[in-house]
Amino acid sequence: MTPKRVLVTRHLPEGSLDPLNDAGFDVVQHGETSPLTPDELSDEIRRVDGIVCLLTDRVDRRILEAGAGRLRVVANVAVGYDNIDLAAANDLGVAVCNTPGVLDDTTADLAFLLILAASRVMSDAERDLRAGKWTGWAVNQYLGQDVHGRTLGLVGWGRIARRVADRARGFGMQVFHHARRPSGESGYVSELDDLLRAADVVSIHVPLREDTYHLIGPRRIGLMKPTAVLVNTARGPIVDEAALAEALHANRIFAAGLDVYEDEPNVHPRLLSAPRTVLLPHVGSASVATRTAMGRLASRSVVDVLCGRLPPTLVTV
């Protein structure tokens, strides 16, 4: 019997592909330095039973249709799966898997790093120091907002949001959360607008869907306190970047910490020049251990599907 063939769209950290290799699959690894183009992907996908892909690979209907007949599973090395056309995968009987759970703490660490760094205007301070513009200690310099004693409003109440809440409580913050469905837990706020009005720090932890696109736009940014800090480690298009940039330039909110952008790797030029804004290049889950665990989980899911077992993380429409 010919071995199952699996395409891995980029080089992953060492050990990530062990489950595929241990299963004796034929593994085709691609793109050490550059991603596959859509045409290359739709060409490769015809010859494989499964793919391990990244959030930068757009796996749309055209690509999935190219694999129709042979392709049985797409495993995304990410918890978010907005890069995959779930409806098309469902129509074509292709299983979609993601990597929840293994990146929660690492991503929550990064979200809290942004909460601290944005509240304490770290990027402005560090930028000046590196540019030789620091003239010495001054009493009115780089005055930020304290984190202890302030309120954190979490938009979303999934695994990562809960880990951010743990960290926030440890830093003496009071934590609220908003979710589509009542959580039944203390701190639940049913109206997002109420949470935005009340929170000193707002951190976003919802997936990108049609109903979360520009969830935080000009009207909602306008509800936030002038001293508020907005942090986004989820997906860029959940926040209207142009509106956020204008609010920061006009001092309508205090600061922002962003790890994700509407059109990655491009960043809105008004955000690049915005004051009190910490900008990171989508590194939420970027630790060696976590990225390896994500790769292994995606690989294991492919093995399970191709061996006729239920994978650990099946995404449903």
103 binds ligand DGY (CB under 6 A): yes
Of 285, 299, 301, 313, the one binding ligand DGY by CB under 6 A: 285
- Cα angle 264-268-273, degrees, rounded to a multiple of 5: 130
108 binds ligand DGY (CB under 6 A): no
CB-based contact 74:51 (threshold 8 Å): yes
DSSP 3-state of 27: strand
Of 27, 64, 74, 79, the one binding ligand DGY by CB under 6 A: 79
Tell me which stretch binds ligand DGY (CB under 6 A): 20-28, 77-85, 136-144, 236-244: 77-85
C-beta closer to ligand DGY: residue 76 or 277: 76
Say which residues have a Cβ less than 8 Å from residue 116's Cβ, sequence separation at least 6.
122, 147, 171
Q: How distant, in Å, are the alpha carbons of 36, 40, 58, 308 from that of 302?
A: 20, 21, 18, 10
Tell me which stretch binds ligand DGY (CB under 6 A): 11-19, 73-81, 89-97, 264-272: 73-81
- How far apart, in whole angstroms, are the C-alpha atoms of residue 44 and residue 35? 13
Which x/- pattern over 169-198 shows residues binding ligand DGY (rule: CB under 6 A)? ------------------------------
- How far apart, in whole angstroms, are the C-alpha atoms of residue 164 and residue 104? 9
Q: How distant, in Å, are the alpha carbons of 165, 178, 206, 231, 242 from that of 154?
A: 8, 6, 9, 10, 22
Helix ranges, 131-191 (H): 159-170
311 binds ligand DGY (CB under 6 A): no
Active-site annotation, residues: 235, 264, 282
Of 20, 27, 59, 78, the one binding ligand DGY by CB under 6 A: 78
- How far apart, in whole angstroms, are the C-alpha atoms of residue 295 and residue 284? 15
CB-based contact 209:179 (threshold 8 Å): no
Of 15, 35, 80, 217, the one binding ligand DGY by CB under 6 A: 80
C-beta closer to ligand DGY: residue 95 or 110: 110
Q: How far is the CB of 174 from ligand DGY (least distance, A)?
A: 27
C-beta closer to ligand DGY: residue 224 or 234: 234
C-beta closer to ligand DGY: residue 84 or 271: 84
Query: How many Cα atoms are found within 13 Å in the side-chain-facing hemisphere of 14?
Result: 0
Q: How far is the CB of 266 from ligand DGY (least distance, A)?
A: 17
CB-based contact 74:89 (threshold 8 Å): yes
Residues from 32 through 71 that contact ligand DGY (CB under 6 A): 55
- How far apart, in whole angstroms, are the C-alpha atoms of residue 252 and residue 299? 46
Q: How far is the CB of 206 from ligand DGY (least distance, A)?
A: 12
Residues in contact with ligand DGY, counted by CB under 6 A, come to a total of: 7
Residues from 228 through 267 that contact ligand DGY (CB under 6 A): none
Q: How far is the CB of 94 from ligand DGY (least distance, A)?
A: 19
Binding-site ranges for ligand DGY (CB under 6 A): 55, 78-80, 103, 284-285
